[in-house]
């Protein structure tokens, strides 16, 4: 059994219309919510063994804040294909994860994360910014994860 944590990036800023979408920073609310979700992971004893993140600035900054507050000690792996990120992009990256990692967190974007959640659990849910979903996967090896995997949604948290 593996655990997948899906985290949508925290709220980003639209203050500067000249900034490319990929480079948008976190808004004040995002800078507040991301550490909250890291603290929640620590409190729930769900600190990830590995964090994979989109290269988009708002996702990277979310991943960094969550990692720090959760007590995550590893490196954050950045994945270009997570921006904007279709379900298959996330699945392909996860299939390459070493089996020693039991609990993996993916930090990415909608609609891809919501579609991945639906693909793996059959649940159609909205993931607002900084929302976190915990999915139990009935697999022993990450390479076995695919669109046919029938995971179970264990919990979903929102920073509000």
CATH code: domain of residue 82? 3.40.50.1240
Rg (the chain; Cα; Å): 14
Which pLDDT does position 81 carry in this prediction? 97
**pLDDT of 57-75, one tens digit each?**
999 999 999 999 999 999 9
> Where residue 160 falls among pLDDT bands split at 50, 70, 90?
confident
In the beta sheet, which residues pair with residue 105? Answer: 5, 51
Is residue 153 in some structural domain?
yes
Separation CA 120–CA 137 (nearest Å): 8
Is residue 53 in some structural domain?
yes
What's the average model confidence in pLDDT over 120-129?
A: 96
Which pLDDT does position 107 carry in this prediction? 98
Q: What domain range includes position 108?
A: 2-12+22-157
> Where residue 124 falls among pLDDT bands split at 50, 70, 90?
very high
Which pLDDT does position 46 carry in this prediction? 98
Q: What is the mean pLDDT of the chain?
A: 97
Output 160 or 150, whichever has higher pLDDT: 150
**What strands, in cross-sheet order, belong to the sheet with 2-8?**
76-79, 50-54, 103-108, 2-8, 132-137, 152-157
Domain count, the chain: 1
* pLDDT surpassing 80 at residue 17: yes
User: pTM for the full model?
Assistant: 0.97
What's the average model confidence in pLDDT over 31-50?
A: 98
What's the average model confidence in pLDDT over 22-37?
A: 97
- Range 33-36, long-range pairs (CB < 8 A, 24+ positions): 33/129, 33/130, 33/159, 34/10, 34/61, 34/62, 34/65, 34/66, 34/69, 34/130, 35/65, 35/66, 35/68, 35/69, 36/69, 36/130, 36/159
Is residue 104 within 8 Å of residue 130, measured between CB atoms? Answer: no
Is residue 17 in some structural domain?
no
Is residue 151 in some structural domain?
yes
Q: What percent of the chain has pLDDT over 90?
A: 98
């Amino acid at each position: 059994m593996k655990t997948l944590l899906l985290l949508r990036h925290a709220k980003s800023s639209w203050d500067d219309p000249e900034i490319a979408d990929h480079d948008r920073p976190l808004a004040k609310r995002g800078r507040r919510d991301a550490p909250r979700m890291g603290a929640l992971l620590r409190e729930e004893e769900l600190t990830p063994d590995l964090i994979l993140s989109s290269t988009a600035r708002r996702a990277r900054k979310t991943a960094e804040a969550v990692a720090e507050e959760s007590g995550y000690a590893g490196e954050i792996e950045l994945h270009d294909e997570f921006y904007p990120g279709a379900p298959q992009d996330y699945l392909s990256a996860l299939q390459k994860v070493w089996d020693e990692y039991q609990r993996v967190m993916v930090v990415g974007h909608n609609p891809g994360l919501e579609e991945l959640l639906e693909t793996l659990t059959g649940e159609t849910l909205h993931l607002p910014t900084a929302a976190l979903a915990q999915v139990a996967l009935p697999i022993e090896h990450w390479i076995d994860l695919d669109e046919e995997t029938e995971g179970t949604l264990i919990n979903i948290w929102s920073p509000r």
